[in-house]
Each structure stands twice: as structure tokens, then as C-alpha cells.
Structure 1
Amino acid sequence: MSSATSPSRLSKGDRLFLTAAIGLPVLALLVFVWLPALASVGLSFTTWDGIHLSDIHWTGTENYQQIFTNYPPFWPAVRHNVVWLLFTALLPTPFGIFLAYQLDKKIRFTRFYQTAIFLPMVLSLAVVGFIWEIIYNPDTGLLNSLMGATGSAHHIDWLGNPDLNLWAVLVASGWRHTGYIMILYLAGLKSFDPALREAASLDGANGRQTFLRVVFPALKPVNIIILVVTVMESLRAFDIVYVLGGGIGSKPGMELLSLLITDNIIGESSHIGYGSALAVVLLLVSLAAIGAFLFQTFCKEDQ
């Protein structure tokens, strides 16, 4: 009769390695994410010029009251963030899914197409902004050159016109976002059971019906990830607008919550309390949007 073997215990070296591998990222998360977030919540109820700690004065909810009543850029920024979300959800995201579905059919030069479409995602949003700044240049830009408007009196100032600049930035952001969604959905399609497609084909379903009634519902976890990514990318949009907008101080028509936060915290006239309150509002909006959707999704799964 064999004796029961005792479970193996980790050596001292293994314990040290696991402690470092888990503890250091957690410590970095606490120091660089959660502590600043909690500090922002506390500072949102104060007024501070950002220099001397002795100048921090408690003001209660005054910052929030001024944001919603006497702070004009707030509501245009909210409206532009909503436009950003709707544009990203209705155009680049479905187009990325469409490209992924087409490239999953193993057509010729699939690898080349994947690389070309995903290439903007390799670049930072700041670099993407510089690329599109060259394209949108009113005097020597590629877009005006193609339209024959370069150097003429009728050239289009894509980034200076308040009626056009937000849409110009959205096109630049969508160019990058499409490749990201394509790669995410391609990864989901690679794990999809091909037998389900064959069964749908035998039942007489065409390609569109197979995707809408079989493939898309089966990839629900990937769809949730894509939706969360789309919402978060839209709410935290900053880099590309910062570059195309010329830095701190939003151009008319390009106001976003992230830019307002940056402008109030590190702008020429520093208002740490205002900026922190705006950051808290953005955090609550993000948590509410993602939390409501996830709660509804998981409740349906339980039922």
C-alpha cells in the first residue's frame, strides 16, 4: 500500500520570485494609479495652485457646482466625447470587424493586408497625430493637394475650422482604431469552431446570415471586450487631439474632457481643484458606462 504523497512546497527561491513577480506590479499599481486617483478625489473638494501644500483650502462641492453651472467648456466637451463615442462605435469598429471577417477567409496576401491595416496601431497616437498633421496642412498638406486647393485662396483649414476639426481628428483616430479592432476580432475568429459554419451552410445560410446568426453571437466575449475598448478609447482620447490641436488650450470645436483636465492641472493658470473634479467626473462616467453594460450582460447570462 503506497503512502500518500505530501503536496510539494515551494522553495525559498520560488517564494521570493513569486513575491517579486506579483508584489512589484501590485505596488506599482497602487503607487502610480490608485494613490493618484484617491488624491484626485480628495483634491476635487479643495482649491490649490499646485505649488505650496499650505495653500490647499477645503471648498466642499464648490468645484462640482461650478463645473455644472458656471464652467462653459464642460458641456461642449461632454458633447464632443459623446460624438467621439458614437463615431467610433458606428464606423471604425464595425469596419474593423468587417475586415477581420474578410481576412479570416484566407484570401491571397492576407498577411500583407493584416500588417498594413494593423501598422497604425504599432505607432503611438502622438506619431499618428504628426502624420495626420502633415496630411491636413492647409498649405502643403496631402489632402488639399489631392483636392487642388493647396496654396490657393480657397484652401481648407481642416484643423483650424471649428466646424471641421473634430471630424478631421475623428478620421485620424478611426484610422488607427480600425486596425486594433481587426486584430482583436481576428483572434476571436481563429478560435471559432468551423463546424458551426459548415452546419449553417448546410442549412442554407449565406455568408451574411452565417455571420449575423452564428459567428457574431458565438463571439460574445470578444464583442464585450471590443465594446469596452471602444468606450474607453473614446472617453480617454487625448494624445492625438493634443498633437493636432496644438497643445494645451483646446481649439474651438475640439474640446474634450481629457483636454480640460490637462488644461486645468498643468495649464498656465493652474486650477488643481477644477481639474481633479473633472477627472472624478470622467472616472464616474467611465465606470457607469462600462459597469452598466457588464451588469446587464452578466445578468442575462445568469438568466
Structure 2
Amino acid sequence: MALNIPRRAGRRRLRRFTRRDVVVLSVLLGIPILLDIVIIWGPTLASVGLSFTSWDGVGDIHWVGGDNYKNMVENYPVFWPAVRHNILWLLFLGLIATPFGLFLAVLIDRGVRFSRFYQSTIYLPVVLSLAIVGFIAQLILGTDQGVVNTILNNHDDPIDWLGDSHLNLWMMMIAASWRHTGYVMILYLAGLKSVDPQLKEAAAIDGANERQTFFRVVFPTLRPVNVIVGVITVIEALRAFDIVYAVNKGRNGLELLSVLITDNIIGEASRIGFGSAIAVVLLTVSLGFIVTFLVQELRGARDR
């Protein structure tokens, strides 16, 4: 009898999941994975394949190899301006909006008066879509009774903030940063709340001032939040579409890669193969930034 006890215990350990458990896990995991494959990776792989073809969405699909990519680089005048605008968008969000959100999070974390009010007010734009932010920008920056021109009393010769190709991109980046800053602030504020106060006390005992304490003690502990914020910033910068499309359909200085994809795939041209090639370029750039950033951050965390 004593020899059978370990064998039964081993059987019980191997039979932890009943048939019902397996069915439930299969449903709970299988459905999301299936939806992810169908909605995300299926169209992604289809775009990669279609980028080497010529197809208008109705007729036959013709294989053209790398002609779409060659024409995109050499014979598509708006491609390089769109690339430049996406890079500017990324730099603006990464170097101005994100640090400003961190700055606001640090101020609110110190417990300034009316911090709850500031936190709610700054976070409020996050609940708005970028299309709504674009419509708000039109009300503020429009030449016809726009708020800014009214304040500047430019009724006779109003500044065309949204029509001038030298100004409209910067105005849209500022409007997008209005929303992005609140998102970054909340993420960093949550990270700052989780920092052990004893670390700050130990730094103060060692003679570190507030600036040294933040950059040498607090900020390194925010590495997980930095990873999340970095990835979100790259995604927000490269997928920007609705705010510029709501203003002037992404033309006259507001060209972005996402706008070019839409114009070629669902526009009058219906060049699905060509639009897919632009989508593949945007996908490659996005994955390049995100994977490089994640590898560097994870490698730094492992070295620590």
C-alpha cells in the first residue's frame, strides 16, 4: 500500500486540469488569439504580399516584384516629405511632449495645491480622439473667427495657421502633444507613486539635492514606465492620421505615411499594391524603432 501512495500523488499532479478546464482555457485563449490573427496579422501578411503586386481591388492581381517600392522612392513626390513629417512628429513628441508630461507628473507628485484639479484637467484631452482634437484645432486656429486670430485682432489679414504649409504641421504637432502630454503624465505619475520613499530619504541623507535624487535615484527606478512611454510615443507618432485628415485630408504640408496609404488604397486611384508597399515601409520603421528600444531597455535592466 505504501508503494502506491507516490504513484497516486503523481497521477493527481498530472491531472490538475479537468476536461472542462481545458475547454475553458482553450476558449479564453483561443478566441483572442484567433481574433488577433484574423484582424491584425492576417491583414499585415496580406499587405506584405500585395506590396509586390499591382491590383485595383477588382481585377486580376499582377506580380510586379519590387516596382512598387522603386516607384515609391523615385517617382512619388510626396513620399519623402511624408517621411520627413513623420520623423518630425516623432522627434516633437519624444523630445518635447514626453519630457513635458514627465515634468508635470513630478510637479503633481510633490503635492502642489489643487493637484487633483490639475491632474484631471491635463488628463481630460486623453479621452478625446485625435479627430476631435483636429476639429478643436480648427475652431482655435481657423481664419474665419478663429480664437487665436480673434485675440490677435487679425480680422483684415488673419494668419492661416492651418493652410500655410510652413505653419500647419507645427500647429498639428502642438495639438497632438496636448493629448499626448496628459497620457504620459498619468503613466509617470503612477510610476512615481510606486517609488519607495526610503530611496529618497537615503539619497537625502547622503547629501543629494532634489535634482540629483531624481536623476540618479528616482528616474532609474522608472525604467518599466520608460519602456511603456517610449513604445507609446513611437506608435503615436507613426500612426498619426486622423488629426491631419480632419483638417485638410493630410495635404498641403500635412502629408504623412498613413495618409498616403489611405489615399492609395481607398482613394480614386485604388492602387492597393502601391498603398500596401507604403504600409510595409511604415510597419518596418515602426518595428525597427520599437524592437530596438525594447532590446536596449531590457538589456539595460538585465545588466542592472
Q: TM-score range by the shorter chain?
A: over 0.9
Partner amino acid, structure 1, of 2:161: W
Q: 1:217 aligns with which of 217, 220, 232?
A: 220
How does 1:16-95 map onto structure 2 within 5 Å? Answer: 16-52=23-59, 55-95=60-100
Q: Does 1:292 align with 2:297?
A: no
Q: Does 1:109 align with 2:89?
A: no
Measured in 2, the distance between the counterparts of 1:75 and 1:300 equals: 34
Measured in 1, the distance between the counterparts of 2:273 and 2:175 equals: 32
- Give me the CA root mean square deviation: 1.7
Matched position secondary structure for 1:243: helix
- Aligned residues of 2:161 and 2:167 also touching (Cα < 8 A): yes
C-alpha deviation, 1:111, in angstroms: 1.8
TM-score computed with the length of structure 1 as normaliser? 0.93
C-alpha deviation, 1:158, in angstroms: 1.0
Equivalence for 1:259: 259
Q: 1:191 aligns with which of 160, 173, 194?
A: 194
Structure 1: which 5+ residue stretches go unaligned?
A: none
Measured in 2, the distance between the counterparts of 1:143 and 1:268 equals: 36
Matched position secondary structure for 2:106: helix
- Aligned residues of 2:53 and 2:64 also touching (Cα < 8 A): yes
C-alpha deviation, 1:51, in angstroms: 1.9
Partner amino acid, structure 1, of 2:47: S
Q: 2:127 aligns with which of 122, 129, 138?
A: 122
Larger Rg: 2
C-alpha deviation, 1:44, in angstroms: 0.3
C-alpha deviation, 1:255, in angstroms: 0.7
Measured in 1, the distance between the counterparts of 2:176 and 2:48 equals: 30
Partner amino acid, structure 1, of 2:102: I
Structure 2: which 5+ residue stretches go unaligned?
A: none
Measured in 2, the distance between the counterparts of 1:167 and 1:290 equals: 24
Equivalence for 2:104: 99
- Aligned residues of 2:92 and 2:173 also touching (Cα < 8 A): yes
C-alpha deviation, 1:106, in angstroms: 2.2
Equivalent pairs counted in the alignment come to 296
Bigger drift between 15-24 and 212-221 goes to 15-24
